[in-house]
Structure 1
Amino acid sequence: MADGYHPILDGHSHESAERSFNGPRPSYQSSNSTIISAHTARSNQYTLRTSSTEQRRSLCSSGGVSSADTFQTAVADDTQRPLLDEQPATERPKPSSTLSSVSTNMSTQSSHSQDDLTVYSSEQRYSRSSSSGAESNHTSSRTVVADDRNQYSAAQSRPSYELSSESTPLLHRREDGLSLYGTDQRPPRPPSIASRTPSEASAFRKRSRVPWPTVISLVTLTLAILTILVVAFAAPAAVQEYGQQAAVFKPKSVSIDSTTPDGVRARVQGDFVMDSGRVKNKSVRGIGRLATWIAREIETSPSDVEVYLPEYGNVLVGTAAVPTIKLSIRNGHHTTVDFLTDLEAGDIRGIHAVAIDWIEGRLGRLSVKGKAAISLKSGLISLGTQVLTHNVIFEEADFPALPEVAILKLNVHDTNIGAMAADILVEALIDSPVDLTVPALGFDVLVPNCSPGDPYILVANSKTSQIHVQHGSLQPATAGVEALIKQLPEELTSSCPGKEDSPLDSLVSSFMQGLETTVYVRGSDAPSPDTPAWMVDLLRSVTVPLPFTGHALDNLVKNFTMSDTHFSLPDPFAEPNSPESQPTVSAVVKVLIALPEEMNFQVDVPKVRALADVFYKDEKFGVLNISKWQDSNSTIVDAEDGTSALLVEFAMKDAPLEVTDDGLLAEVIQAMLFGSKGVELRVAATVDTKVSTGLGRFAVRGIPAEGRFPVKTSFGNPLGRLNPRVVSLQLGETTESSMAISTLVNFTNPTQYSATIPFIDLLILYNDTAVAHIVAQNLSIVPGHNSYMPVGFLWCPLNSSGINGVEAGRALLSSYISGLNTTVAIKSHRKTIPSLPDLGEALSVLNITVPVPQINIPGPPGSGDEDSKPHFIQDATFYLWSSAAQFTLASPLTETDILITSIDATAYYEQKEPIGRIKSRDAFKVHPGISQSPRLPVDLNMGGVGYDALRKALGQSLEMDAIANVGIQIENYVDEVLYHGKGIAAKVRF
């Protein structure tokens, strides 16, 4: 009820007027024509009597009749008739002019009575009442004066046999000839038989004194009539306007007391007061205060208030039965209102239409119309029946919002009947205009389907406990909900058309990510017989969305480990950026998943697959795509913190790793190979699982999972433990500046990871200059020792780096054949992995320095030095007599001869004393394995210390050093190397 408005003082009395005029009439209201004819006859008699009286007066004044006789006759007549004031107004003689006025007034009243059947606005009624009241006052005044003047003549002409009656009222009665506004208008009573007697004219005598009682009575009567006319015609409109503006009702509490079979019983408590200060018009305020002061209080009869919605086809929303209410209407007087009203629901379909518009956000404005017929009375005086109507418009801001539901507690558990039950405690801040207690209700729980237009999917039946809602409370209301899931419908777990996800996947994913999740509830059979049927029918017709926020399971993965990790490089002939061009990862994965405390049912995960983003230092560098279902085992275990966890173990095989940041991956590899600290990676995955529960086996897709796991590395320099060794060399294709060599290599893998290499091409740099390529194909590397691994070697210094490459290549070969500790750098380039050129270029920042693999060259028989440094010159023999030298040479090639095209060598004793010089252009071959060179002429330095040492070592051995420029040719390849030999044990012969 709006502030300042009260339905009791606002309305129209049209229905009352209709009932007054349309109902059965009393017998005394038989005919207006009879009354008019009677008055006409009396008027004619009055004229005759007046003339007779005047004649007698003239005779008396002329002495025809004595005054004493006249006085005696008057006294006799006065004793024979009743008092003037005791006669009814209708029995008094009236002149013809007065009768015409009465007739006119009666016809006016009749027309007014019929006009009252039409409903006017308050302004029209006020104007009409005022004009009618003024006319009535004027006519009534003239009638009363005329009656007063003629009462004496009527008294004189009354026959002597008419006895006075003490029962005749002294004052003019209200209903005699007067009509009240808003009440039944009755015609005046017909004149009595005595008033029609012809002898009335002869009874008039002139009185000798002023009749003060009669004068006072007439004045009082006149004032009363005027007051009644003002109150009856002018005051109602003012009082009505005063009531509309001054009435103030402040509700203190509106609550639902209980439910009934047809509705609810509401308790309304408030304070009612008339505040004249709210009325702006001074005259209206004065009249209203006077009228309410006189009436003091009003009482309403029991009534029914009907509520309609004009914008929805004028549908009846409901009916409220309002009991009798007494209100003090004097200004400033407060009345405490406390009553119970029965609210009965109306058209359920109409209420359903409004509810749907509100739920879907289309209700921007709502017009509500209230209508009631209320009978009012003040004391014993009935004020008629008022038909009250009032329109209230609610704007969008006035409507309460749908409550946000938060799940306080959730417990999902198995049942003995093979179903799954959920005990839920929810809370919601409900903006209710009244205090109410919602009884136990039954609901169907539905979830969204694939498309918004598809029907919702029924998944569970639930029932609620009683819910207590308090108006204006800032504390949310709580409710217990019990749900039972008997089975999962097929449409819930089936993939949507054109998608892989099912409706269940979307629901679970949103909940586990902590996003807003929406389910729908619809009324169903009530769990309690006390729940009214009308409430059940209403709830069945409405489906309400129930949004709630899920629990973000940030710490879902407690531990994540990968063992037996195996990396595989892609196919070299695959198209770049295709799935086949991605490296793959295989491993045994163990995931320890924290079970939410809400889950208290048995669950098994027989299969998994995932799509994981891999991060290093919170930056993404790759995507691990486990697109194929992987067999898995799951076991519920106790975690270290005492909570339950699900251990899922599965073998990940050949999962593609899509590199999204090559530079970051190179940083990861560098940290793994050379870092002093461990490498920690983070995985954010979307996991699909096939779950087996008491409800059956079904797939759940899109489960978010995140975890961190360390990558195990070997601290220090793991490459220093490679220990590469060339077991064999086999010459391939050669050119003048290049040659291809196939080798078998033994080495040690110091890491815990294995790898498969279909193809790889790496550069060999010496002194930061590229001189050769290492090409490997179809390698399968395991942790630890790896034997006889085929590795291709392409020597091409000229093609790699030009003249600088040739010089660097010669330096490398010279250092190596001289038995020095030689290291080279291995580096990637764009063609290292042909299908991943960007990755190869990113890895080029890594220069991996490794020692040149030792070549397995057998020493002389019985030396037992096969694992020492390579010695291409096994021994030498000097012949003093012939001044020649012969060498035992070891070739690393197993099938190809090496042609020595030239030698320019000098032998030294103790590194600085020359012994002799060999300078030969005669070419000779060095066969695979151990072979003897021809005797080469030596130009001995006879006068030197070196010659004396050589001569003294005749028949013995002499250690010497040698520096030689040797021209070599290996098939088409031609080059020249510088050999530094130290500690060569040369035999001296004669």
Structure 2
Amino acid sequence: MADEADQPLLDAQFGSERASDDQPRPPYQLSTASSHYSHRSEHKSEGKTEQTISRSHSGWASDTATQVLLDEQSSLTERSPAGASDDRPRLSYQLSTDLSHDLRRSEHKSKSKTEQTISRSHSGWASDTATQVLLDEQSSLTEQSPERASVDQARPSYELSSESTPLLHRREDGLTYGTEQGLSRSSSFVSQKPPGNGVIKKRNRVPWPTVISLSILTLSVLAILVLAFAAPAAVKEYAQEAAVFKPTAVSIDSTTSNGIRARIQGDFVMDSGRVKNKSVRGIGRLATWIAREVETGPSNVEVYLPEYGNVLVGNAALPSIKVNIRNGHHTNVDFLTDLAAGDIRGIHAIAIDWIEGRLGRLNVKGKATLQLKSGLFALGTQVLTDNIIIEEHEFPALPTINILKLNVHDANSGAMAVDVLISSLIDSPVALTVPALGFDILVPNCSPGDPYILVADAKTSAVDVYPGKETAVGVGGLIQQLPDALTSTCPGKEGSPLDLLVSSFMQGLETTIYVRGSDAPLPDTPAWIVDLLHSVTVPLPFTGHALDNLVKNFTMSDTHFSLPSPFAEPDSPDSQPTVSALVKVLIALPEEMNFQVEVPQVRALADVYYKKEKFGVLNISHWQDANSTLVDDQDGSSALLVEFAIKEAPLQVTDDGLLAEVIQAMLFGSETVILRVAATVDTKVSTGLGRFAVRGIPAEGNVPVKTSLGNSLNRINPGVVSLKLEDTTESSMLVSTQANFTNPTNYSATVPFVDLLILYNDTAVAHITARNISIGPGNNSYVPIDFFWCPLEAAGVDGVEAGRALFSSYISGLNTSITIKSHQNTIPSLPGLGEALSVLNITVPVPRISIPGSPGSDDGDQKPRFIHDATFYLWSSTAEFILSSPLTENNVLITSIDATSFYEKNEPIGRINNREPFEVPPGISRSPRLPVNLDVGGVGYDALRKALGQSLEMDAVAKVGVLIGNYMDVILYHGKGITAKVRF
């Protein structure tokens, strides 16, 4: 509009000047005006160029202004055709002034156009193009106004002296950038002669500006196509493959209402060597070299699990991060990000699979939405996705818990408090601070499929977790009461869930408890943590403390052994010996137990060991009443003294030979026998939580068995009170006796039946059998024992000879000992034990036999005297004897006597050869007078005569035939130092 308004003024001005321009003008005027105009135009163009240099170079704006002036000049030429023949002189300054005004208007008009287009082109291309247009317009003017050319020959100042001389251009002519029209005009223009000398020089130069402009234009179009379509995909692929981020430190800064705030530190670098495609690598390196740095705006990262229904695990809000993206340049990154939890139910499903070992691998998909820019240029939104496969061996392991300290104490209102300090190596890749949390503590039920049993509430304080380091956690628990399900016996089993838990802990075995988030969380616990923890139950295995020294002392007093009935079947429960005793156990209380406890009843199953080998099992299957007292041990520690009585607890002998060694050590040893008892104890416990049974408590201790120093058999002092003949045969007889003896041990026994062999000179001659007897410590009187004399049955002819030798030695008053030995049928229901005990040969002196009515029966004289007194009658040559019989009810029949008496051991006095039987009643009796064949001429006879009225000491040797019931035998008697009275 400005051009159109100024156009009439120009037309009028130039028309008047041309009408009067008949006078010649100096040539310097036009060139001066033109130079002045060119200088002012360049000055204005440079000013405007400096204002818009951030978007383009300066030349294009200046050439645009020049193009407008040329358009105005062409319009003036077309509107004034008569001016070509106008010969009137015109002042040169007028044209210069008018041109200056035109220039200012044209520059003002083109200013807005220049600022709008300056950012889309380079200055060189625009400047060359404008110059080419001016040349084309000038050529056109020359061809269209030949008359004017002739008129103006006298005015050389109008001729172009160089390419910088301003030319007028008609607006109606279109711009011809390198077209044929433009080229023809240019050729026509340069072919004309300059007005100064009438000759126009032809220009033969190559139009390099046009060629360069076209080349740049072509390259620009190709670059735009490549960068707009091919480059973004290649750069994206390059960025995904070449980007490497190595975290150097990851920690949880704090928790938020919907997640956590993590601090991530690491090193970022673009490694082009990771890109396999060569073209992608080249384009990517070029693009990143040009951009140099990229800044991400606030971005979002989402993590999904495709194998679990594409569940959203969580998302992270990333702050703005600036990194160097040139190849090989490292950038240290340190930022905070907010991580928000996703679908809690989906996370719960993953956690359950991991806990139960069903998670073989995990596919994790990450999706990042990034807002990128480089400098002032926004690069748009980039969405990057990646999948990571986590194999089973890469999953973190469940932590193993070690109990460092445990304190169980009474709380208010009958509850029990548990303070635990545990340590665990938590397999966490990041450092984090776990806030204070509340948990439910559960224990296993009877069967794996049964629901867990809630036993306590627990709370933890804030915990700092560091990768690769042990983490100490303080836990405070409160047990309000024990559920019935915890203490009830499991179906088909002997124990309860509590029994299994306590037993495993006290044996030092791995024990598992379960932890679940509490329904009543702590006030500072974020809601998302509460929801997550309450939906997951985590097993926590831990190893208990083996209480090896739980039993500090174990004693048994008033111990009573009972042998089984002879009618019991071998290997049956009734065939086992039983034990009764008063047991005192001193139990060392663990320092963790600081609450009142009582033990009202106990029972146990104990293995008994000797020299580390097991020989028996003591089964106390019935509940035994107990008393418990809290006492202080010698070392000042607390201990619980439990006293209870065992009543006829069966002892199952598992190693007969080893038990025989124990008995031998007890009877013949000089040192205390140490037995080790390893028991599984069931107790009924009374605490502040109530009374309940705890089964399977392991207990182990040493039981010292006291023995008499030296050979205790020397203090048995056996003695026979009475003998009563029972059944007899020709070769055997059964005699019922009553015996007195001393038990040197502290143990008692009940013997339903026992049978032992009697050996003389290692040859069996008899059996002694006891039935239904009780033996206590110390003296035992009138114990009924059966004596079965059967030498022929026991050992044949050797037995008969040994039996005669035994009788001869005994009645002759010699110190005679016999051997008592067990055999396979010693205890019929325990043949193995009897066989094992047969290695024990107990040798004792023949019991002293009391003679009824004998004055010396209680005088302590151990030598038996069956001939108390003898009287020789010289006149009748007979002898009379005072005899004693140990039998209390039966007579002994003397069937024959063949005896010889000696003086001074070898001088015969006389001989008795009697075949007349006579009876010897029980007790003291006088024999009939037996005829004696005196050796009258011998020394013995002289001694006998000299002793008339006095006594004579002599020796005798006799063979005496006896008949006891049906039993008949001949006994050899050797009497020494027999005092015989000599009467007339």
Normalised to the residue count of structure 1, the TM-score between the two structures is: 0.80
Q: Deviation digits for residues 130-179 of structure 1, max 9, x if unmatched?
A: xxxxxxxxxxxxxxxxxxxxxx99x9999989988454459989989xxx
Q: Which has the higher contact order (CA 8 A, sep 6+)?
A: 1
Of 641, 648, 652, 1:658 maps to 652
The equivalent residue for 1:373 is 369
2:693 partner amino acid? A
By how many angstroms is 1:384 displaced?
2.0
1:583 matched to 2:577: yes
- Residues of 2 paired with 1:554 and 1:255: CA distance? 43
Q: Relative to structure 1, is the Cα distance of residues 174 and 807 closer, same or farther in structure 2, using a 3 angstrom cutoff?
A: farther
Partner residue, 2:185: 206
Moved more, 757-766 or 949-958: 949-958
Secondary structure at 1:451's aligned position in 2? coil
What residue in structure 2 maps to residue 773 of structure 1?
767
Q: Which residue of 2 aligns with 1:952?
A: 946
The answer to whether the 8 A contact 1:171-1:221 is kept is no
Q: Provide the C-alpha distance between the structure 1 equivalents of 2:567 and 2:75, rounded to a whole number of angstroms.
A: 145
Mapped to 2, the partners of 1:421 and 1:926 lie a distance apart of 87
Do residues 219 (structure 1) and 218 (structure 2) align? no
- Who is 1:244 aligned against? 240
Whole-Å Cα distance in 2 between the matches of residues 557 and 773 of structure 1? 45
Gapped runs of 5+ residues in structure 2? 1-33, 39-44, 46-69, 80-104, 122-169, 191-202
Cα pair distance change 1:735/1:383, threshold 3 Å: same
TM-superposition CA deviations, 1:455-506 (whole Å, max 9, x none): 00000000111111123x3x20111100000100011011000111000000
Structure 1 residue 278, shift from structure 2 partner: 3.7
Is 1:523 matched up with 2:523?
Answer: no
What's the CA shift for 1:865? 5.0
- Provide the C-alpha distance between the structure 2 equivalents of 1:346 and 1:196, rounded to a whole number of angstroms: 69
- Superposed, which structure 2 residues align to 1:46-85 within 5 Å? none
Give the aligned residue type for 1:249. Answer: F
Residue 872 (structure 2) pairs with residue 872 (structure 1): no
Cα distance change, pair 315–455 in 1 and its aligned pair in 2 (3 A): same
Secondary structure of the 1:498 match is coil
Question: How far off its partner does 1:265 sit?
Answer: 1.3
Instruction: Provide the residue aligned with 2:347 in structure 1.
Output: 351
Q: What are the equivalent positions in structure 2 for 1:126-145 lying under 5 Å apart?
A: none
Output the amino acid matched with 1:315. V
CA–CA separation in structure 1 for the residues paired with 2:292 and 2:606: 83
2:608 maps to a residue whose letter is V
Instruction: For residue 868 of structure 1, report the CA deviation from its aligned partner.
Output: 4.8
* Per-residue deviation, 1:234: 3.4
Q: How does 1:706-855 map to 2 (within 5 A)?
A: 706-855=700-849
Would the aligned equivalents of 1:440 and 1:527 in 2 still touch at CA under 8 Å? no
Q: CA deviation at 1:816?
A: 0.8
Q: Is the 8 A contact 2:74 2:171 kept in 1?
A: no
Quote the Cα distance in structure 2 between the aligned partners of 1:451 and 1:159.
113
- Aligned to 1:801, what secondary structure does the other structure show? helix
SS of 2:875's partner is: coil
AA in 2 matched with 1:884: T
CA positional deviation for 1:577: 1.0
| Number of aligned residue pairs | 824
State the partner residue of 2:311.
Answer: 315
1:942 aligns with 2:936: yes
Corresponding residue to 1:431 among 427, 431, 438: 427
Q: Hey, what does 1:507 align to over in structure 2? A: 501
Equivalence for 2:912: 918
| Amino acid in the other structure paired with 1:406 | N
- Paired residues of 1:901 and 1:921 also in contact (CA < 8 A): yes
> Against the structure 1 CA distance between its residues 862 and 157, is the aligned structure 2 distance closer, same or farther, given a 3 Å change threshold?
closer
Q: 2:857 & 2:321 partners in 1: Cα distance?
A: 129
**CA deviation digits over 1:345-383, x for unaligned, max 9?**
111110000001111111111011112332222222222
Indicate the residue corresponding to 2:478 in structure 1: 484
Alignment of 1:453-464 (within 5 A): 453-464=449-460
- Supply the AA of the counterpart residue of 1:226: L
Could you tell me which residue of structure 2 aligns to residue 468 of structure 1?
A: 464
Q: Shift in Å at residue 722 of structure 1?
A: 0.9
What's the Cα RMSD here? 2.9
Report the CA distance shift for 1:855/1:199 in structure 2 as closer, same or farther (over 3 A). closer
Q: Residues of 1 paired with 2:731 and 2:944: CA distance?
A: 40
SS at match of 1:893: coil
| Structure-2 residue corresponding to 1:271 | 267
Partner of 1:494: 488
- Corresponding position of 1:325: 321
Any residues of structure 2 matched to 1:292-691 within 5 Å, and which?
Answer: 292-471=288-467, 473=468, 475-525=469-519, 527-691=521-685
2:438 and 2:521 in contact (8 A); partners too: yes
Q: CA deviation at 1:291?
A: 1.5
One-letter amino acid of the counterpart of residue 745, structure 1: A
Q: Distance in 1 between matches of 2:553 and 2:928?
A: 71
Q: Give the secondary-structure state (helix, strand or coil) at the position aligned to 1:417.
A: helix
Q: Give yes or no for contact 2:670–2:711 (8 Å, CA) kept in 1.
A: no
Shift in alpha-carbon separation, 1:889–1:328, aligned structure 2, 3 A: same
Structure 2 counterpart of 1:932, which letter?
Answer: R
Q: Tell me, yes or no, if the aligned pair for 1:856 and 1:866 is still in contact at 8 Å.
A: no
Corresponding residue number in structure 2 for 1:232:
228
Q: Any idea what the Cα deviations from partners look like across 1:748-771, whole Å, max 9, x if unmatched?
A: 111111111111100000000000
| Matches of 1:577 and 1:247, distance apart in 2 | 81
Structure 2 equivalent of residue 21 of structure 1: none
Match for residue 9 of structure 2? none
The residue that corresponds to 1:111 in the other structure is none
Shift in Å at residue 286 of structure 1?
3.3
TM-score by length of 2: 0.80
Deviations 1:817-857 (A, max 9, x none): 11111100000001100100000000000100001011112
Aligned equivalents of 2:300, 2:857: Cα separation in 1:
126
- How far has the Cα of 1:560 moved from its partner? 0.9
The Cα shift of 1:230 comes to 2.9
2: CA distance, partners of 1:160 / 1:433:
86
Answer yes or no: is the 8 Å Cα contact 1:729–1:741 preserved in 2: yes
> Cα deviation per residue 1:545-597 (whole Å; 9 max; x = unaligned)?
01000000011111111111111111111111111111111111111111101
Contact map agreement 1:570 1:835 (CA 8 A) in 2: yes
Q: 1:553 to 1:158 in 2, by over 3 A?
A: farther
How far apart are 1:225 and its partner, in Å?
A: 2.6
Q: Tell me if the contact between 1:859 and 1:865 (Cα under 8 Å) persists in the aligned partners.
A: no
Counterpart secondary structure, 2:969: strand
**Counterpart Cα distance in 1 of 2:181 and 2:683:** 123
- 2:967 and 2:537 map into 1 onto residues whose CA distance is 88
Task: Tell me how far 1:235 sits from its aligned partner.
Answer: 2.8
CA contact under 8 A between 1:157 and 1:198: conserved in structure 2? no
Q: Is 2:75–2:171's contact at 8 Å kept on the other side of the alignment?
A: no
Residues 554, 864 of structure 1: alpha-carbon distance in 2 compared, 3 angstrom cutoff: closer
Q: Indicate the residue corresponding to 2:66 in structure 1.
A: none
- SS of the residue 2:662 aligns to: helix
SS of the aligned residue for 1:235 comes to: helix
Q: Does structure 2 retain, via aligned residues, the 8 Å contact 1:441–1:526?
A: no
Q: Does 1:255 align with 2:251?
A: yes
SS of the equivalent of 2:560 reads strand
- Identity of paired residues, percent? 75
CA distance in 1, matches of 2:845, 2:249: 93
Whether the 8 Å CA contact 2:850–2:857 is kept in 1: the answer is no
User: Does the CA-based 8 Å contact 2:852-2:922 persist in structure 1?
Assistant: no
Q: Indicate conservation of the 8 Å contact 2:848/2:862, yes or no.
A: no
Q: Is the 8 A contact 1:305 1:319 kept in 2?
A: yes
Is the contact made by 1:159 and 1:203 (CA closer than 8 Å) also made in structure 2?
Answer: no
